[in-house]
Amino acid sequence: MSTEARPRLDARAFILQHARLQRPPHTPEIELYLASEIEPVWRSTEEALGEKGVDPPFWAFAWAGGQALARYLLDHPEEARGKRVLDFATGSGLVAIAAMKAGAASALGTDVDPFCAAAVALNADANGVEVAFTSENLLDAAPPAVDLICAGDVCYEWPLAGRVIDWLRAAHASGARVLIGDPGRAYLPRDGLALLAMYEVQTTRELEDREVRKTGVFAFEG
């Protein structure tokens, strides 16, 4: 459907209607507007956008990779303290919020999901922090000049995973610290990454194939 033919979208009202404040199991210090079930909010998203086959509502759930990254930043605040942080594919804004709670100088969430700007704003406000947002597809340009880039759950499908990893490698090569949160997705690189922490993250069978996922936080070696 063309942009002109789309129904007018009030993303903030949609989120408040379909989600409620909850504390992710692995980061109880943080409250997020989350959905309880994926199918109803997914169907409602298609109706709101006037489209079929849209991507899952990534903003509506605290995915395992994001929970692991957020937990890591909260437990290791020196990773974010005083730094300019980019949360790539931010979704709900969980990792960006954790970075700000850990003392980051600034946090920027980026996502192409049309609901994420409103979700990040609502969630940041609920946690008393400021998080900037951009819907620009950053993969179309060189990585921005930031100190820390976090990327959770970005290796779930090919070829997108390969493109994201190449972009993150370029960011690492340019001097940024890069942290990746991943629960064993198929396209996570097997070489060149150092495991920093491993968590058992509670999730649901609606989102994953088990109720607890072993989820790692990784950094590029060298």
| pLDDT tens per residue across span 127-145 | 999 999 999 999 999 999 9
Cα 166 vs. chain centroid, distance in angstroms? 18
The whole-number pLDDT of residue 55 equals 86
The predicted-structure confidence for 184-209, as pLDDT tens digits, reads as follows 998 999 899 999 999 999 887 666 66
Helix 116-126 / helix 94-101 crossing angle, nearest 10 deg: 30
pTM (2 d.p.) = 0.93
Q: Which domain holds residue 138?
A: 3-220
pLDDT at 14: 97
Name the DSSP letter for residue 208. Answer: S
* Residue 142 DSSP symbol: P
Query: How far apart, in Å, are the Cα atoms of 68 and each of 17, 46, 129, 143, 152?
Result: 28, 29, 20, 23, 8
Give CB contacts under 8 A, 24+ apart, made by 105-112.
Answer: 106/130, 106/132, 107/131, 107/132, 108/84, 108/132, 108/133, 108/134, 108/146, 109/133, 109/134, 110/86, 110/134, 110/135, 110/136, 110/138, 111/58, 111/59, 111/135, 112/137
Phi, psi of 127 (to 5 degrees): -105, 5
Residue 57 contacts residue 45 (beta carbons within 8 Å): yes
Contact call for residues 102 and 129 (beta carbons, < 8 A): no
What local confidence, expressed as pLDDT, does residue 6 receive?
47
If one counts the domains in the chain, the total is 1
Which of 19, 25, 64 has its CA nearest to residue 44? 19
pLDDT for 113: 93
How confident is the model at residue 108, as a pLDDT?
98
Whole-angstrom distance, CA of residue 205 vs CA of residue 42: 16
* Residue among 9, 112, 110, 111 at smallest CA distance from 51: 9
CATH number at residue 79: 3.40.50.150
pLDDT at res. 206: 66
For residues 4-22, b (16+ Cβ closer than 10 Å) or e, as one string? eeeeeeebeebbeebbeeb
Per-run averaged pLDDT (10 residues), the chain, 222 residues: 55 97 96 93 92 90 96 98 98 98 98 96 98 96 97 93 97 98 93 97 73 93 88
Phi, psi of 58 (to 5 degrees): -60, -30
